[in-house]
């Protein structure tokens, strides 16, 4: 299995579906606007805005940088702190209200019927077995990941991608030496 | 044992994950497996981790404790009409799941999560809902008669549409305002 470090500064900005914000794709199994079954991306939220509507999609929203946001989901307000994960349906009515300044979010979208994928947050000292179904993203601060090949330093929103080349899907046990990361894992693998 | 519970909990993901003292991802859930011969009970208990097969890895780190835990996630699942009565489902994540008409009679759901789940016409009679989180759930027609609401998180619910909820139960719950200075968790 090979590992690729994807730096946040190298990603290309793309407009949100509703045109009210900017996103940066980390990984996706298809292409925009709707030719995909899952998609992992970051987004800049610089003002109070409504989210785009994605019918038939499960969404997980992680506060990856900044002081968080209040998401009003179908009329219920949820205070989303840094490192929190909020789950909702893509056709829910969602409005974001910044708490204290702009923030960056990590967004996972999985279409109904696709293999389940979910986000988890790990903190310094935690360990995890990572395989080719996983993507790891540094959030909130700089992170240092202790892998079998050595230490990897990640700036905020940098990602680690894993590829198995179709030979054998082994897993790496990694330990987070410093920082906080969000990990996307696939269920049933 | 796992096959049995996986069958009961159709639609939920059941994972074995390498686990040390801190290895379970934050926000993950654990379920206590139920022996085929265990009598149903609702009594409180401490969740247990279960040693299972250790996944193959390409490296070994001395700090890693390679015990495993079983993680049960039912988030976003379609579980209409499922019957979970008498089971012990502590720490289960039912976020955004469709559970219309499901039965949780005397189920132990301690610290389980039902955030924005559709719980319309469900039956929680006698269920242990200690520290469970019902934020933003749809509870229209849901029956909570004699359910244990100790520290249960209540926010963004229309309890007037639920059945069997008493003030005594709510006195034990953690009540949050839907809007205002104290937001839902």
B72-177 placed in CATH 2.60.40.10 = no
* ipTM at complex level: 0.76
A147 and chain B: CB distance < 8 Å anywhere?
yes
Give the pLDDT confidence score for residue B179 in this predicted structure.
Answer: 61
Distance between CA atoms of B78 and A89, rounded to whole angstroms? Answer: 13
Tell me whether domains A11-111 and A117-186 share a fold.
Answer: yes
Q: Which CATH superfamily is domain A11-111 in?
A: Jelly Rolls (2.60.120.10)
Confidence at A172, pLDDT banded by 50, 70, 90: confident
Minimum distance, in Å, between the CA of residue B63 and any CA atom of chain A: 9
- Please indicate whether, in this complex, the C-beta atoms of B58 and A171 are within 8 angstroms of each other: yes
Give the pLDDT confidence score for residue B23 in this predicted structure.
Answer: 37
Average pLDDT, chain B: 72
Q: Count other C-beta atoms under 10 Å from residue B47's C-beta.
A: 15
Angle at B28 between CA A129 and CA A68, to 5 degrees: 105
Q: Count other C-beta atoms under 10 Å from residue A39's C-beta.
A: 23
B47-50 own/partner pairs: CB under 8 Å, 24+ apart = B47/B90, B47/B91, B49/B19
Q: Which residues of chain A neighbour B135 with C-beta distances below 8 Å? A: 76, 78
- Please indicate whether, in this complex, the C-beta atoms of A87 and B156 are within 8 angstroms of each other: no
Strands (E), B29-116: 67-73
Average pLDDT over residues B99-105: 97
Q: Which residues of chain B neighbour A128 with C-beta distances below 8 Å? A: 17-18, 23, 25
CATH architecture, domain defined by A117-186: Sandwich (2.60)
- Reported as a single tens digit per residue, the pLDDT across B104-162 is 999 999 999 999 999 999 999 999 999 999 999 999 999 999 999 999 999 988 999 99
Average pLDDT over residues A4-13: 94
Q: pTM of the predicted model, to two decimals?
A: 0.76
Write out the DSSP string of A78-124: EEE-TT-EEEEETTS-EEEEESSS-EEEEEEEEETTSPPEEEEEEET
Kindly list the domain boundaries of chain A, sorted by start residue.
11-111, 117-186
Give the pLDDT confidence score for residue A150 in this predicted structure.
Answer: 85
Average pLDDT over residues A89-110: 95
Q: Which residues of chain B neighbour A73 with C-beta distances below 8 Å? A: 116, 136
A78 and chain B: CB distance < 8 Å anywhere?
yes
- Reported as a single tens digit per residue, the pLDDT across A19-59 is 888 999 999 998 877 889 999 999 999 999 999 999 999 99
- Reported as a single tens digit per residue, the pLDDT across B51-60 is 444 444 444 4
- Please indicate whether, in this complex, the C-beta atoms of B184 and A78 are within 8 angstroms of each other: yes
- Percentage of chain A surpassing pLDDT 90? 68
Give the pLDDT confidence score for residue B35 in this predicted structure.
Answer: 37
Q: Which residues of chain A neighbour B179 with C-beta distances below 8 Å? A: 77
Minimum distance, in Å, between the CA of residue A160 and any CA atom of chain B: 17
Nearest residue to A142 via CA among A177, A184, A103: A177
- Please indicate whether, in this complex, the C-beta atoms of A74 and B60 are within 8 angstroms of each other: no
- Reported as a single tens digit per residue, the pLDDT across A109-164 is 999 999 989 999 999 999 888 777 789 999 999 999 998 778 999 999 999 998 77
Q: Which residues of chain B neighbour A185 with C-beta distances below 8 Å? A: 25
């Amino acid at each position: 299995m090979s590992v690729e470090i994807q730096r946040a500064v190298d990603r290309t900005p793309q407009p949100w579906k509703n045109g009210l914000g900017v996103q940066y794709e980390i990984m996706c199994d298809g292409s925009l606007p709707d030719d995909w079954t899952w998609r992992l991306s970051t987004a800049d939220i610089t003002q109070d805005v409504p989210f785009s509507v994605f019918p038939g999609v499960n969404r997980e929203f992680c506060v990856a940088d900044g002081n968080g946001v209040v998401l009003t989901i179908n009329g219920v307000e949820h205070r989303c702190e840094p490192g929190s994960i909020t789950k909702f349906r893509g056709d829910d009515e969602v409005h974001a209200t910044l708490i204290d300044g702009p923030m960056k979010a990590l967004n996972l979208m999985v279409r109904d019927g696709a293999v389940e994928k979910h986000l988890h947050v790990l903190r310094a000292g935690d360990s995890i077995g990572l395989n080719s179904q996983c993507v790891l993203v540094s959030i909130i601060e700089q992170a240092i990941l202790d892998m079998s090949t050595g230490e990897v330093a990640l700036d905020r929103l940098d990602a680690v991608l894993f590829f198995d080349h179709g030979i054998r899907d082994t897993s790496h046990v990694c330990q987070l030496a410093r920082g906080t990361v969000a990990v996307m894992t696939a269920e049933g693998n | 044992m796992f096959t049995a519970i996986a069958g009961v909990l159709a639609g939920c993901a059941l994972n074995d994950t390498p686990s040390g003292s801190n290895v379970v991802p934050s926000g993950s859930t654990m379920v206590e497996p139920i022996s085929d011969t265990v009598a149903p009970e609702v009594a409180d208990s401490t969740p247990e981790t279960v040693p299972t097969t250790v996944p193959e890895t390409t490296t070994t780190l001395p700090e890693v404790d390679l015990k495993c835990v079983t993680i049960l996630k039912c988030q976003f699942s379609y579980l209409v009409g499922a019957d979970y009565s008498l089971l012990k489902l502590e720490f289960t994540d039912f976020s955004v799941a469709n559970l219309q008409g499901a039965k949780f009679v005397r189920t132990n759901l301690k610290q389980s999560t039902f955030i924005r789940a559709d719980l319309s016409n469900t039956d929680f009679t006698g269920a242990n809902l200690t520290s469970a989180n019902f934020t933003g759930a749809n509870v229209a027609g849901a029956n909570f008669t004699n359910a244990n609401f100790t520290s249960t998180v209540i926010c963004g619910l229309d309890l007037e549409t639920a059945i069997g909820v008493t003030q005594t139960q709510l006195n034990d719950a953690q009540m949050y305002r839907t809007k205002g200075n104290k937001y839902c968790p």
